[in-house]
Amino acid sequence: MVSVVKFLGYTLFFIASLLYFLPKAALYYALEKELQNYKVIISHETAIDSGFALNVDDGTLSVSGIESATFSHAKITPLIIYNELAIEDIKLSSAAKSFIPLQIASVALHYTLINPLEVAGSATGEFGEASFSFDILERSMAVTLKPSERMNREFAHTLRNLKREQNGEYSYVKKI
């Protein structure tokens, strides 16, 4: 019994040490380089390894050479079984101001080994609250939006492109 407990203790310690000393900044820059193949560039950011997570501050996101958004803080937590990307204080480019409010308070993406074929997430901002999921195998995206009063009032033309549900929420499903 004691040897089993010791074995489990050493195994958990090894896994925790591996996650703690994982070169998260190097993995982030490798991912950033891979995103360049899709014309997505993150620039002006500062990446700081903080033990079990990687903090990325003050980044600018550009897609196809067009500055699309800025963010003040992102936290990447790679824990093998459960991985999370949390982004705070996002400001979209003024090019989107006729479609949606430009300020997004937070976005959180989750990926788990329990459900390895889905990436799920949620977002809150001036537009209201949204939850979304991406099915990797089916290559489909589903979004549910609970719009704010401002979104209902000023961006009704955008909401017309979404399917209105009976509970007042809007949904959007797209195969990619």
pLDDT, tens digit, for every residue of 67-92? 999 999 999 999 989 999 999 999 99
Rounded Cα gap, residues 160 and 157, in angstroms:
5
Q: Are 88 and 72 spatial neighbours (Cβ–Cβ below 8 Å)? A: yes
Q: What is the pLDDT of residues 110-151, one digit of tens each?
A: 999 999 999 999 999 999 999 999 999 999 999 999 999 999
**pLDDT value at 102 more than 90:** yes
pLDDT digits (tens, 9 = 90+) for 160-175: 999 999 999 999 999 9
pLDDT bucket at 176, cuts 50 / 70 / 90: confident
At residue 48, what is the residue type?
A: I
- pTM of the prediction? 0.89
State yes or no: pLDDT of 1 exceeds 90: no
Residue 127: Cβ within 10 Å count: 23
| 2 has a pLDDT exceeding 90 | no
Alpha-helical runs (H) found in the chain: 2-21, 24-35, 149-154, 156-159
Question: 74-86 in b/e burial notation, b at 16+ Cβ within 10 A?
Answer: bbbbbeeeeebbb
For position 115, what pLDDT does the model report? 93
Q: How many CB atoms lie within 10 A of CB 58?
A: 13
Name the DSSP letter for residue 9. H
The pLDDT of residue 80 is 85
Residue (of 75, 39, 37) closest to 59 by Cα position = 75
pLDDT the model gives residue 113: 93
SS3 assignment, position 16? helix
